[in-house]
Every structure is written in C-alpha cells, then in structure tokens.
Chain A
Amino acid sequence: MTKEEIENGTADMEIDQRELMNGERSELNAVPDGFNANYLKVYYGKLFPHADIFKWMSYGNDGKHPGCDESYFGRREFSFTLDNDIYLRFQSFNSVSQLENSIKEKCPFKIDIGPVYSVDPAKRHAYAQSGNNVFTPVEKELVFDIDMTDYDDVRYCCSGADVCLKCWTLMTIAIKVIDPALRDDFGFNHILWVYSGRRGVHCWVCDPKARRLTNEQRSSIAEYFRVYKGNENSQKKVSLTSSALHPFLLRSYKVLEEFFEGNLLSNQSLFSTEERYEKILEMIPDESITSELRGKWQDNKKSSISKENINVDRWKHVKKILKSGKQKGQGLGKCVEEIVFSFSYPRLDMEVSKHMNHLLKAPFCIHPKTGRVCVPIDPNHCEEFDPTAVPTLSKLLEEINMGGLGTDDDAEWDRTSLGKSIRFFRSSFLQPLLKSCKEEIENSYNAKLQHSKTSLTW
C-alpha cells in the first residue's frame, strides 16, 4: 500500500485493508508517518474519548440529579479548526452524541474549548437581538499555557518548535512549581496537565471555584506566578526586588535549584563557552566580580577540566564569590537566585490565563504538525514524561491495524498505546472530579430545599 493510497483512502478503506491483513502482521500494516484527514477520521471514529470529554465538561450536570443544570453543557463553546484553516467558532452541543457526530463529521484538525456562556453560544445572535448583553461568559476553567519557544534564550539544545529531553526538563520544572502552588496555596484539587502535542504543556484547573473566577481574579493568580519580566533586549530577565523571597518563591526555588544544579547546568552547558558565560556575567551588576570570574575562566581555558565539570565548577565560582561578598553589602547575594530563576522558572503565557474567554486546545487532540496526541501528564511523575515517546497518530493506526478486527466494542483504544493515557485521565482526574461535582450539586440542592422549607413557615 503506497502512501498515496492511504491518503486518498477513506476510513472504510482502512477497515478493508485491515480485513485483508488480518493476522498477517505484514509490514504493510505500517502506516506512513504524518498527519492527514483520513487518519484523523479513524482516530475520531475509534479512539478519541468523546464520552469522557462530555462527562468532564458536564461537571455532573448529566440530568440524573434533580438539582443539576441541564443546559450547562449546551452553553459551552467549542471551536473547530478545519482542514482548510476554516475556523468555526461558537459550536455548541446538547448531548454526547451531538458532540461526537459533529466531531466525526467535521473531522477538525484542532478542537478548542472556550467558556460556558450565559446562553447557548450558537444562538447568541438571537439573544443579541433582545438587547441587554445577555451573551456573556460565565464560567471557564482556569488555564495555563507554557510554551517552550518562550525559553529560547535559556536552552541551547534546540530552538523554536523543536524539543528534546534535555530542554523538556524546563517543562518538568514548570509543572513542579505551578502544580503544588495551585494545590497548597490556592486550594485547588482538580487539576489536569496536558501535553500540548508539540513543545509545551497546558494546565486545566477545574474546581468549581476556579471555573467561576472573574478575569481580575484570574489575572491575580497569573501575576502571582509571574517572576519573569524581561524582554529580548534587557539582560536581567528576573528581578527579585526584595532580599527575602515570598514563601511561594522560596519553595519554588528549592525545585529550581535542584534542577538547575543537577540537570540544566551540564545538560544545557550553561558555562561552556565564552558567549554563554558572558550572558550570565551580564546579570551580575558588579564589574570587579565579573572581571575576576572572567579572568579565572579565560586562564584555565586550556586546562584539563573535563567538559562535564566545567559548568558545575564555574557555577561554584559564581556562587562562592557572590555569597561571600559581605563587603559588597546586600544585593549581590540575590544574584544567585536571579540567575537560577532566569534559567529555570516557568514562563507562562499570561494572556491565556487572564481572560475567561480565551480558548484552549482540548486534550486528546492530535497536533497537526507532529501528529502526536495531546495526552495528560501525571504531575506526580512528570519527570518521567517523554514528549518524544508520546503516541503518534500513525502509530495508533498501526496498532489498530495490528490488533485485528476484534469485537466491535468501544474499548478499542484500550489495546493501543493511548489506553494508558485514557485510563490515567479517568482514574486520576475525571472520577474524583465527578464525585465532588455530584456532591456539590447534592449539597446546593439540599440547601435550596431547606431554604424553601423555611420560607414557607413565614
């Protein structure tokens, strides 16, 4: 089977092929790499967890409890980016089957999730006619978007859209800094981390309280997390204004320090060349110190220190001189922290978090450029996550093809390498979430009943 045949084929043909190949494990099972609409059709048909997304976005408002809000899911905006870059906004659905059918039929290259509006977004024009601004976002998960391209000045292994395991450490750090703060500081519990499919991560905070935050409150959280304030042309990307750190930064610093010294220093070879160490020296606002260090490093350029150690050693020099500089007074000591923060602290896309009506790509989409699935990441084991090992569309199709016809049950995903991700999504995120949603609905329903009882006694 040639690539063209597959690309021109339809999902049905795919199945025919499978019948032919059944049991043979021939190399013809191999699906050429890449991404196209036909692969995607199969993916949406057999693997994409429509029902899970529906359950998630319903937050327990599934019609089973008298206290639930049946219009809830139908007021959520979805938007689809189609094959030819056509962008359909304000799609809404009233049931899981509507959602599923529409996705299967339109076969979007990208699905974005927007806010829940006051009214069905598909009918917003009708409401607009009645005047008075009734069409307005009322709920939306608190989201974060961290993208590797924002780190281009602190990674030397790749640039732009590329990522490798070396720079992925930066994403691991981001999760390890943001996730505990969301839980311990802000008290959120229902947090989903997702690989963005290419070079970053997304975070969805789904607690009821998080979904109802105003834009101002969202901004305040995003600001709470913001340390990085630099631009392309200023040397200092991070400025820690006070000598003592806020407890959140203090705790984060422990994470940063561990990864900076144990990983980034040598994996990114931060001090290995003059150009690189100059970048760090620029962050030290004291001529005599920088020239002392410079002198030292230029001298032993030819010495026999192994490449391995050069980064670690030079960092030791920096720390020693800055931390011991008592005669210099305060101020220089925090340079050490500033350097560590600059090279490792998470860089959030602030705008995404600040506005309720920002859309964010749905989990389990396929990234059109890499063909990789946007799978959830377990924050407790995020250092084990390997973006280069995330299942690709073509790999999944191969697995389906190899799996044989099997029974036509809807658990086909379970036999593919997507299975583990979906199981994780359910057990660690969806189930606890729905449980607490049900409780909330129950509680507020009871409270309402209670209320109407007491008001009758008037």
Chain B
Amino acid sequence: MEIIRSQRKPVHIDVVPTLPLYRSAPPLEVRLEDFELYAMDRLRVLKGIADGLSRGKKSEEMKNLADHLWKANMRHLDASEVVNKDIISHFVLRLVYCRTEDLRKWFLSMETNLFRYRLLFEKAEVQRALMAEFDLPYRAASNAELESVKEGLKQVAQSFGQPLAADAIFYKVPFEEVPELVAGRRVFIHKGYAYIAMNQVVSLVSTQFRSHLSKALILTNRKWTSTIREQEKDRLTPIVEALCSSYLGPDYSQPREFAEISIKDIDQIAKSSFPLCMRHLFEKLREDHHLKHGGRMQLGLFLKGVGLKLEDALAFWKAEFSQRVGSERFDKEYAYSIRHNYGREGKRTDYTPYSCQKIITSAPGVGDHHGCPYRHFSEENLRAALGKMGISNRAVEDVMDKVRNRHYQLACTLTFEAVHGTSCDAGINHPNQYFSDSQKVLQSKNQSTV
C-alpha cells in the first residue's frame, strides 16, 4: 500500500471478491486524507459492534446492527471505491491496532465479528466460494459416512427444533476447528470429527479468518516496531498514534443499562459499585468540598456515564463546592464546565468518560486526587484504602502483587472480584465498565434472593 499526499490515479483491482479476506496489503495508492478518514469510518463500525455485543444483543440483532453500521459508515460516492475503502481502512487499522496485546485482541475480535456478520448476509454461492478461497482441507462427508452417523445428526437437528433435510450436506472437520460450535453443542461430534451443516460453515470460515488475522497482526507489529514507526515518523506515525490514543473501547459517554441514578442514592452506590479511583475522588469531594480540575473531570464524566442527569450533577457539585466557595462563585466559575461536559457530542475525546488507560497514564500533581490509586498511591495508602473496602488480607496481598508488577488493571480486577465474590473474566478496562459490571452482579444477587 502506498500512501501519497494528494490526487490519486484510479487503480483497478482485477478480481473484486464480494468479501475481501485481506490476505495482503493491496497495491493501492492512498491519499493521506483518506488514510485517516477511512480508518475513522471503519472504527465507528467496529465500535458499534463492540457496543452492541457489550449490551448483550442477540446474534440476529447483531447481524442487523452490523449491516446497518456498515451501510451508514462505509459507503462511498464512487461505487468503484467501496471495495478499496474497505480494504484500505482495514489495513490502516491493522497498523493502529497491532501495537499492543490489548489492542490486537480487541481488533481481532471485532474484525472477526464484522466478517462473520457480513458473511451471514451473503448468498450460499458466495459462502461456498469463500470456503474454496480459504483452501480448507475439509470435504463434504460422503453418503456412506452420513448414513453411519445419521441418528446423531438427526438428534442434533432436533435439539434445535429442526428436522433433518434428507439431502443436507455436511462437512466433516476436526472438532478443534470449530470451538464455538462445540461449546454450544451445536454439532454432532464423533471420533474427533464435527459434522458441520452448511449454514454453520460461516462459523468455520470465521475461525479461519480470525487465525489468519491474528498471525498477520503479529507480523504487522514487527514491521511497525522495526521499520514503519521510524520511517513514517513525520507522516503516518502521528496519525496512527492519534487514532489510537482516543479511547477505543465501548463508548461510555451515554449512560447505559442502569440509566439514571439519583443524588439520594449516590453515596450508597459509590460504596457498592465505584472503582477505587472514583470512590477516592468521591470521598475527597465529600471531605474537602472541593476537587481540582483533573479530579472534577475524571469524576464528573464518570458520573455522567453512570447516569447522573445534568440537573442532578449540577446540584451534586454545587452542594459540595458551595460549602467551600459559596454558591455564587460556583455558578460563575464551575457550573459552566459541568454543563459543558454534558453538552458536546462532537469532540468525543474530551467529553467521554476516561478509560483506565487514560487515568493510569495521567500525572496527578500536588493536591490532585485523580489518577488510578493502584498506580498513584503509595503502598501504605493503597493497603489502607483496600482495607476500608473490606477486602480480606489475602486478597489484598494478591492485589499488591499485581501492583508490584505494574498490572494496575489486573489489580483493580482482583479488587472487583474480592468485593463482589464473582469472577470478572473480561478484566477492568474502564471505570464505567467496573460500575456497570458491579451493578449487574448486585442486581442478579438481588433478583435471586427475592
């Protein structure tokens, strides 16, 4: 892929597959502007998918959501350009997301999902053609083979409430190739082979897609660190790094499942569901009736994400600040910025609740209380804070161990687990995620005790 400053000559790709597999970087020239714009558009799609998944949407809904996102963001005025945009944006994001394990993981999972949903929209011929393109060593099971396992195939079909069509085609593949289908008991498995119905082929191809991409990302990462970053330090590198420093996990700027908390509950909720960073700010605010700018932003945006409405937010901050600076000064100096936090949609980096990554890399100065306690507290203070949360000595030791190894988010995850008595497999990536996961746990506990 060659990136040029401006005007581009039209380039034609000889074979235009209906669904690119992104096997190798295309011989395309890309304008610098498109480089960034295309990437942003694709990112919106991926982010939308991530968001849908985290809201627990069902696969049918997800398929429609993905289709909708794709159509909304990946169109191009020039029809012949559509495929190029697809390919270019994918390769740009590869560069953006190859650089750390976490980024790779997120990208891998979202791209695979996207691929799968798009594939589901394709017709059977296209799906079959893709099978061929992947060069999978699987073959349709012969009639004799099918005959011998017919009973099992029938039972599996029935377990989905479907009859087994007499002429159904099944592929025979090693079970390791289709972990998802195995996990859901959605296939008949015999002597190490899974019998995959044609409509399940999609899962198979997606797995393949995933593993190709996973390897490719590692290679891209090597190229990035060894040459590209340095070579492109005046041109692409800043763009790539900027694309990435904006928080790219789920968007917490809009309150989600647990929309609307009210001021009267806030103390209780802070106690039960705030991560340590927010709990600390919250307590400091209650104690000092003041927070410096960094703390106001970190806590304020978090509260917005949690579902505190603007009027309530104003009342909440005012109740504290006015004790210190008087309500007049509050209205004059502070109210504006709170409104502002709630106001904008456009410049999302500024008004999105901070992610862990952002908080951990912030640099609180004297008198500041923001930042991540696991990173910014002294060992002593951190121990005391954890003790106050009612965490057992053993768990505290485990947490401190992670802290010593500078795995702050893991430390926070362990804290979450100790507090809630459940595991948190996804790990903590965002204070608002901590909050919503916590609420989920508490709600399910409540429901089951009713």
Interface residues of B in 175-196 (CB under 8 A from A): 175-176, 179-180, 182-185, 188-193
B381 contacts the other chain (Cβ, under 8 Å)? no
Partner of B156, one of A187, A234, A247: A247
Given A185-B189, A209-B176, does the pair A224, B182 have CB atoms closer than 8 Å? yes
CA–CA, A219 and B449, complex, Å: 30
CA–CA, A188 and B155, complex, Å: 23
Are A242 and B161 in touch, CB under 8 angstroms?
Answer: yes
Given A186-B189, A220-B182, A248-B185, does the pair A233, B155 have CB atoms closer than 8 Å? no
Q: Nearest Cβ in chain A — how far from B229, in angstroms?
A: 16
Given A186-B189, A233-B449, A242-B161, does the pair A247, B182 have CB atoms closer than 8 Å? no
CA–CA, A249 and B191, complex, Å: 16
Partner of A223, one of B152, B184, B189, B445: B184
Interface residues of A in 187-225 (CB under 8 A from B): 187-188, 209, 213-214, 216-217, 219-221, 223-224
Partner of A233, one of B156, B192, B445: B445
Q: Nearest Cβ in chain A — how far from B444, in angstroms?
A: 8
* Residue of chain B at shortest CB distance from A231: B448
A244 contacts the other chain (Cβ, under 8 Å)? yes
Partner of B159, one of A214, A232, A246: A246
CA–CA, A395 and B392, complex, Å: 40
Are A223 and B188 in touch, CB under 8 angstroms?
Answer: no
Residues of A within 8 A of B176 (CB): 209, 213-214, 217
CA–CA, A219 and B175, complex, Å: 12
CA–CA, A248 and B182, complex, Å: 11
Partner of A187, one of B179, B184, B192, B445: B192
Are A184 and B191 in touch, CB under 8 angstroms?
Answer: yes
B158 contacts the other chain (Cβ, under 8 Å)? yes
CA–CA, A234 and B450, complex, Å: 10
* Residue of chain B at shortest CB distance from A227: B185
Are A219 and B190 in touch, CB under 8 angstroms?
Answer: no
A449 contacts the other chain (Cβ, under 8 Å)? no
A245 contacts the other chain (Cβ, under 8 Å)? yes
CA–CA, A91 and B46, complex, Å: 44
CA–CA, A412 and B152, complex, Å: 50
Are A186 and B155 in touch, CB under 8 angstroms?
Answer: no
CA–CA, A184 and B445, complex, Å: 39
Interface of B is mostly: helix
A1 contacts the other chain (Cβ, under 8 Å)? no
* Residue of chain A at shortest CB distance from B160: A242
Interface residues of B in 106-160 (CB under 8 A from A): 151-152, 155-156, 158-160
Residues of A within 8 A of B159 (CB): 242, 244-246
Are A233 and B189 in touch, CB under 8 angstroms?
Answer: no
Are B175 and A250 in touch, CB under 8 angstroms?
Answer: no
Given A209-B176, A233-B445, does the pair A223, B183 have CB atoms closer than 8 Å? yes
CA–CA, A248 and B159, complex, Å: 11
CA–CA, A250 and B184, complex, Å: 15
CA–CA, A179 and B184, complex, Å: 19
CA–CA, A246 and B152, complex, Å: 8
Given A220-B179, A233-B448, does the pair A246, B192 have CB atoms closer than 8 Å? no
A243 contacts the other chain (Cβ, under 8 Å)? yes
Interface residues of B in 189-209 (CB under 8 A from A): 189-193
Are B188 and A247 in touch, CB under 8 angstroms?
Answer: yes
Q: Nearest Cβ in chain A — how far from B163, in angstroms?
A: 11
Interface residues of A in 371-413 (CB under 8 A from B): none
Given A185-B189, A233-B445, does the pair A246, B155 have CB atoms closer than 8 Å? yes
Partner of A244, one of B158, B184, B448: B158
Are A217 and B190 in touch, CB under 8 angstroms?
Answer: no
CA–CA, A236 and B193, complex, Å: 33
Residues of A within 8 A of B191 (CB): 184-185, 187
Residues of A within 8 A of B445 (CB): 233
Interface residues of A in 156-189 (CB under 8 A from B): 184-188
Are B155 and A244 in touch, CB under 8 angstroms?
Answer: yes
Are A185 and B190 in touch, CB under 8 angstroms?
Answer: yes
Are A234 and B448 in touch, CB under 8 angstroms?
Answer: yes
Q: What 0/1 readout, one digit per residue, does chain A (242-286) give for beta carbons within 8 Å of chain B?
A: 111111111000000000000000000000000000000000000
Residues of A within 8 A of B184 (CB): 223
CA–CA, A187 and B445, complex, Å: 40
CA–CA, A163 and B20, complex, Å: 58
Given A242-B159, A247-B156, does the pair A219, B179 have CB atoms closer than 8 Å? yes
Residues of B within 8 A of A248 (CB): 185, 189
CA–CA, A245 and B445, complex, Å: 30
CA–CA, A446 and B193, complex, Å: 26
CA–CA, A217 and B177, complex, Å: 8
Are A184 and B185 in touch, CB under 8 angstroms?
Answer: no
Residues of B within 8 A of A216 (CB): 179
* Residue of chain A at shortest CB distance from B177: A217
Residues of B within 8 A of A250 (CB): 155
Are B190 and A184 in touch, CB under 8 angstroms?
Answer: yes
CA–CA, A220 and B178, complex, Å: 9
Q: Nearest Cβ in chain B — how far from A89, in angstroms?
A: 13
CA–CA, A226 and B248, complex, Å: 34
CA–CA, A220 and B188, complex, Å: 14
Q: Nearest Cβ in chain A — how far from B441, in angstroms?
A: 11
Given A184-B190, A231-B448, A233-B445, does the pair A247, B183 have CB atoms closer than 8 Å? no
Residues of B within 8 A of A213 (CB): 176
CA–CA, A239 and B393, complex, Å: 37
Residues of B within 8 A of A186 (CB): 175, 189, 192
Residues of B within 8 A of A242 (CB): 158-161
Residues of B within 8 A of A243 (CB): 161
Interface residues of B in 416-438 (CB under 8 A from A): none
Q: Nearest Cβ in chain A — how far from B191, in angstroms?
A: 4
Q: Nearest Cβ in chain A — how far from B404, in angstroms?
A: 16
Residues of A within 8 A of B175 (CB): 186, 220
Q: Nearest Cβ in chain B — how far from A215, in angstroms?
A: 10
Are A246 and B185 in touch, CB under 8 angstroms?
Answer: yes
**10 pairs from A and B in contact (CB 8 Å cutoff):** A185-B190, A220-B180, A220-B183, A223-B182, A224-B189, A231-B448, A242-B160, A244-B159, A246-B156, A246-B185
- Please list the 3 inter-chain residue pairs (A to B) with the smallest Cβ-Cβ separation, ordered nearest first: A187-B192, A233-B448, A220-B179
What is B's interface to A at a CB cutoff of 8 Å?
Answer: 151-152, 155-156, 158-161, 175-176, 179-180, 182-185, 188-193, 445, 448-449
Beyond A185-B191, A220-B180, 13 additional pairs, beta carbon < 8 A: A184-B191, A186-B192, A187-B193, A220-B183, A223-B184, A231-B448, A242-B158, A244-B159, A244-B161, A247-B152, A247-B155, A248-B185, A250-B155
